[in-house]
Structure 1
């Protein structure tokens, strides 16, 4: 009897030890609210919306300690629309993220699967578009530089992230086309580097999509992972911010080149404007966009913060020079570490674009385009993380 009790006790101890070395976590974030827009297709609009600032998601993430500083890691995440329960990425079981990999304490992390790109990882956090104090509505026009973590997720990706050494982190990625005989078609690759030391944060990166939105692989139109239809999309970005006391100020520049562009995705309508919706205007040829963003966040109290951002986007399109002015203001109040309320307003104006082009219509990210060159949106919402 005593031997049996000893065996049971030892078995329980080993089980507890094994459990302590690995974990699986259910997590998520819900963002929902009401939004007023002065012009969507020529009409003002009141809507119940989700993910105006942060993506509404749930997921599983886990790690297993393999010994010697090596860990197996994974993440499975699904984005969804809270107001109707639909998938954010149509037809994808885990459209937001789905990857597995190995993490080495001294050598870095190697992951495989559907993931956010490296520039989004490192430069994105310096923009208002990625952060809770700005979010998806504050993204640059058409989310052209992929710096707001709301839409573009890349398939078939192998990604390496270095450990942090003296404040420096490096990431690189390659996403396969997975098509026999078309190795370079619809693939993606890029790299990014960041530096963090005390109040200073700096980052830079490069990202390229070949045949963005084409049939197949890296980014597709099937689940609207592609923001643009284009033969090639290249993005450079550089940014930094500085924190002093309760304030953080930042500057970000990005440059996007689209070769043989034919369409841009409208999050509000769920279609590629200029491609399968001729009534919205055309989009053909090459498009160049330079985004210049200045942002600031100030904590008035531990619970109450205010923030703002302004982005000027200069374009070059078929001999014209369109320009966008996008401004954002937000006030946020936290009830707890996991629940907060926000009030946010966004203004966008575009000028200089050809009248028969989709570029001539203001279109705040996540909303249907305006019938004019100006759009204003105000939203009040609630977020809860678990």
Structure 2
């Protein structure tokens, strides 16, 4: 089928091609500056068998989607405006391959939806729903943010409270990322809260810097989220504007916090086929009770709940197609209302084999052990991120699956 568009008296041919590498749609016209534009269809289909030793007190077996990489589809494009300046956009939606439903609360493009300008000399400015800069600059050094069941989030830090897994998207966001100069790059983001008459409510801002030179990569980031129950944890289409959006006992008792501050640093060093990585984050839920949340009555009004998380990991390429990974994560929560804070010890293990650049099979396992008292004031139970909480202080989740990129 042929389609012809008329623009400025000249014809624009629309060409669609399907190949083994994927599907790409290209749009182009012969204008005064011979500018070129392109649109690419991309995605991931990921399915696996998941087993949990304790999901609400019972063993659980399930067919699950988006484990190693969340199942998704999207369009991304660019138009060359000349002089090193381009227009860019991405619209991307998640889906559950097991039942065909949309993820991210049912939003059509819940993963990302932004447009912007990119300059070789000045950097990139984008506007819309986007990943947080903290994940892009520090989360890449964590197992959960790079290889350990990143799609499902199981390999993330407890409740992914520091967003190192990149599970949270920021709405109404303006993001800037600089060009790389002598290995250095920096970025900043601001999100408008959207509350009339109160510019700070539900707002979010962050800044980050990275450095890469040879085998060494480093990153640091800071973020401040006002009313985090709504500005960070409540950004999906189905999120509540009055009740708690912070699920799980790790942080659910902190939904009334007035703000959430997170600072993180990370780095990696490559030695031949091995990559060693480490990351540390400090998160504080400030002014508990300052945000009105239905059903949440903090036992420590005005106080601050602190989480310190450290992680070390290693990835090893046994062959160019076979990756082995291991990580250890330790989370220490500050105590509230006279109780000792929770402690979470977690181990991530994984094997990933690539049949090709687009298709791989994987086997991953996450084990967690908890102690102390959680944010609800009860004895802490193991609760691997985005899973059904255990009824004991231990939990193991394992997944075997296949992933295909297109």
**Which TM-score band applies after superposition, normalised by the shorter structure?**
0.7 to 0.9
Compute the displacement of 1:221 (Å). Answer: 6.4
Using the alignment, how far apart are the partners of 1:286 and 1:17 within structure 2? Answer: 60
Using the alignment, how far apart are the partners of 1:90 and 1:192 within structure 2? Answer: 28
Contact 1:190–1:206 under 8 Å retained in 2: yes
Compute the displacement of 1:353 (Å). Answer: 1.3
2:119 counterpart residue number = 104
User: Does 157-166 or 45-54 show the bigger shift?
Assistant: 45-54
Compute the displacement of 1:153 (Å). Answer: 0.3
From the superposition, tell whether residues 112 and 177 of structure 1 become closer, same or farther in structure 2 (CA, over 3 Å): same
From the superposition, tell whether residues 353 and 95 of structure 1 become closer, same or farther in structure 2 (CA, over 3 Å): same
Using the alignment, how far apart are the partners of 1:381 and 1:43 within structure 2? Answer: 22
User: Does 181-190 or 359-368 show the bigger shift?
Assistant: 359-368
Using the alignment, how far apart are the partners of 2:325 and 2:284 within structure 1? Answer: 30
Q: Which structure: greater helix fraction?
A: 1
Contact 1:119–1:190 under 8 Å retained in 2: yes
Using the alignment, how far apart are the partners of 1:358 and 1:204 within structure 2? Answer: 34
Contact 2:169–2:235 under 8 Å retained in 1: no
Q: CA deviation digits over 1:342-377, x for unaligned, max 9?
A: 001110011111596367121112211111111111
User: Does 66-75 or 119-128 show the bigger shift?
Assistant: 119-128
Q: CA deviation digits over 1:230-282, x for unaligned, max 9?
A: 321110000110001100001100011012557xxxxxxxxxxx97699xx99
From the superposition, tell whether residues 186 and 359 of structure 1 become closer, same or farther in structure 2 (CA, over 3 Å): farther
From the superposition, tell whether residues 356 and 166 of structure 1 become closer, same or farther in structure 2 (CA, over 3 Å): closer
1:333 counterpart residue number = 353
2:5 counterpart residue number = none
Using the alignment, how far apart are the partners of 1:331 and 1:208 within structure 2? Answer: 36
Contact 2:107–2:237 under 8 Å retained in 1: no
From the superposition, tell whether residues 141 and 133 of structure 1 become closer, same or farther in structure 2 (CA, over 3 Å): closer
1:169 counterpart residue number = 185
Compute the displacement of 1:297 (Å). Answer: 0.2
**Could you list the runs of 5+ residues in structure 2 that have no partner in the other structure?**
1-9, 14-26
Compute the displacement of 1:52 (Å). Answer: 2.3
2:362 counterpart residue number = 342
For 1:196-345, list aligned pairs within 5 A: 196-214=212-230, 219-220=234-235, 223-224=238-239, 227=246, 229=255, 230-260=257-287, 286-318=304-336, 319=338, 320-345=340-365
Using the alignment, how far apart are the partners of 2:129 and 2:95 within structure 1? Answer: 17
Contact 1:234–1:258 under 8 Å retained in 2: yes
Using the alignment, how far apart are the partners of 1:156 and 1:75 within structure 2? Answer: 15
Correspondence 1:37 to 2:52? yes
Compute the displacement of 1:219 (Å). Answer: 4.5
**1:128 aligns with one of 131, 137, 143:** 143
From the superposition, tell whether residues 160 and 32 of structure 1 become closer, same or farther in structure 2 (CA, over 3 Å): same
**2:164 aligns with one of 147, 153, 168:** 147
Aligned length: 362
Q: CA deviation digits over 1:150-202, x for unaligned, max 9?
A: x2101110110000101111000110012211111000000010000000000
**1:68 aligns with one of 83, 89, 97:** 83
From the superposition, tell whether residues 62 and 56 of structure 1 become closer, same or farther in structure 2 (CA, over 3 Å): same
TM-score, length-normalised on structure 1?
0.87
**Could you list the runs of 5+ residues in structure 1 that have no partner in the other structure?**
1-9, 263-273
Q: CA deviation digits over 1:45-74, x for unaligned, max 9?
A: 101111223221110000000011100000
1:49 counterpart residue number = 64
Determine helix, strand or coil for the equivalent of 2:334: strand
From the superposition, tell whether residues 64 and 108 of structure 1 become closer, same or farther in structure 2 (CA, over 3 Å): same
* Dislocated runs of 4+, deviation >4 Å: 10-20, 216-219, 224-228, 274-278, 281-285
Contact 1:283–1:358 under 8 Å retained in 2: no
Determine helix, strand or coil for the equivalent of 1:90: helix
1:93 counterpart residue number = 108
Compute the displacement of 1:311 (Å). Answer: 0.3
Contact 2:323–2:352 under 8 Å retained in 1: yes
User: Does 54-63 or 355-364 show the bigger shift?
Assistant: 355-364
TM-score, length-normalised on structure 2?
0.83
From the superposition, tell whether residues 77 and 283 of structure 1 become closer, same or farther in structure 2 (CA, over 3 Å): farther
Compute the displacement of 1:317 (Å). Answer: 2.9
Using the alignment, how far apart are the partners of 1:12 and 1:36 within structure 2? Answer: 52
Contact 2:28–2:37 under 8 Å retained in 1: no
Using the alignment, how far apart are the partners of 2:118 and 2:12 within structure 1? Answer: 28
